Structure 1
Amino acid sequence: MTSLADMNTVDIVDGVLSIRISTERGGNSLAPDALLEGTEVLRAVAAGEHSVGAVLLLGPGANFCAGGDVRAFASAPDRPAFVADLADRFHAFISALAEADVPVVAAVRGWAAGAGMSIVCHADVAIGGPGTSLRAAYSAIGFSPDGGMTWALPRLVGAARARHIILTNRVVTAAEALEIGLLAQVVDTDEEVVTAATAAARAIAAGPRQSLRATRRLLTTSDGATLTEQMAAEAASISQLSGLPVGIEGVDAFVAKRSADFSASNDT
């Protein structure tokens, strides 16, 4: 089993895998260690090595993630090779995040720019505060997006709006992000963001994990399916769950008028 003991950016508490995706340097730039350690642990989760019910993405400072370390780009002796290597590691992390097949919560405090905004686009539940701001940012340094932004953002907000956000490099405020679906919730103060996101992740992890993972899978694949195909997938999923311990416990608890206890099925 992959050990978390020597890792600095990840931990698992109450069934929640927390990944601190940025450093305190450079206004909270993307953390290379988080990409490597996060990818390793997420792959271990996908392989069943860790019992995880939710992933929580957060930054250690005032900002969620202000993007890549531009000063590191500038000092690299071979910029294209350096950026290609970083993009490969970033994309391995995003792929691992998807393949872990676990609901993802993002605590989007302060700025989510560049790579930070790309990461937000892959969260199932993104929670911000009044000071949350998002910006594509890539064109400001003459780059094009990475981290799957050009794939995920149009699916979240629509093609025309995504083009406008990326090509004009405008700032998306917390209120607008909530309105267009980039954020799922905006709490009253910025200080509440991490607390609210942590509570959401723990609530998801304490719920019926197999059911929630199946639901996330259906939501993720629905964009490329016809209505008939999606309903067939739904029928297969709900039927399978009804015969598993998670579904049996849920139904039996409802009939008995008691709270369902999903702890046994969550440990599998």
Structure 2
Amino acid sequence: MTPEFKKALRHAPISAWIGFIIIGLYIFVAIFAPVLAPYTEREVAGAQYLPWAAPHYLGTDALGRDVLSRLIYGARNTVGIAVLTTFLAFGFGAMTGLLAATVGGRFDQLASRVVDILMAIPPLIFALLVLTITGTTVWALICVIALLDSTRVFRLSRAVAQNILVMDYIEVARLRGESLWWLIRREVLPNSTAPLIAEFGLRFCFVFLFISALSFLGLGIQPPAADWGSMVRESAKLITFADFSSFDGATFGLAPLLPAAAIAMLTIGVNLVVDWVLHNASGLKE
């Protein structure tokens, strides 16, 4: 950590600290899932739909697998894939957008038209089509979502770079004979940090939710691997048959809300941290 970041961290608002705590908790759970989970994610540990009681503190699912253990392992699977996908999408989209804006000409036109074509297709339909053809492997899922989300990052980074490239200091750098990569690395990229940081947080949330949506439809992370989206799908029918007049009956209706709440809490935590980082990076004052 730089001294400036440590100073900003000491003066961070309570909302940012709540976000850090939430994200830190998820990271801890994802890393130490084998230690924290009482059972493995695939182990049939009891009968189907057992109530919330020891040793299954959140009950079991339709196959008798421990729900608490699958929630814990879901943090590793869902969040890990979302982080990797976001880094790929953001790295490819941001660098291509900055390069297109700086180079201009035919390369800019070609890249922009390809992005327009991809963005014209509804993302969910495009992902369903490609994953149906290629198969629902983890790497196919990562590549498809990274490609779709990189188009959004491309549009933002290109627009931000175009506003920067008309500044006087860019003209001075070009007159000095600076190279293309020097302009991108030393002038354009540092001055586009604030919107790109905000976009990174948003992209992670959208990727995270998109993976969960695909898993809910059966084309995301495949069973028997634990995933929060597929856990919502598997237990959604319990809401209809839950008996809310008793505690044991009500727990069946709450079962689909557990993975949904895990998804929502991480999304909130990331947005709280991104808001604080954006506030500092943009130079805004209270």
TM-score range, shorter chain: under 0.3
Structure 2-normalised TM-score? 0.21
Larger Rg: 2
Considering fraction of residues, name the structure with more strand.
1
Q: Under a length normalisation based on structure 1, what TM-score does the superposition of the two structures give?
A: 0.22
Choose between structure 1 and 2: higher helix proportion.
2
Higher RCO structure, 1 or 2 (CA under 8 Å, sep 6+): 2
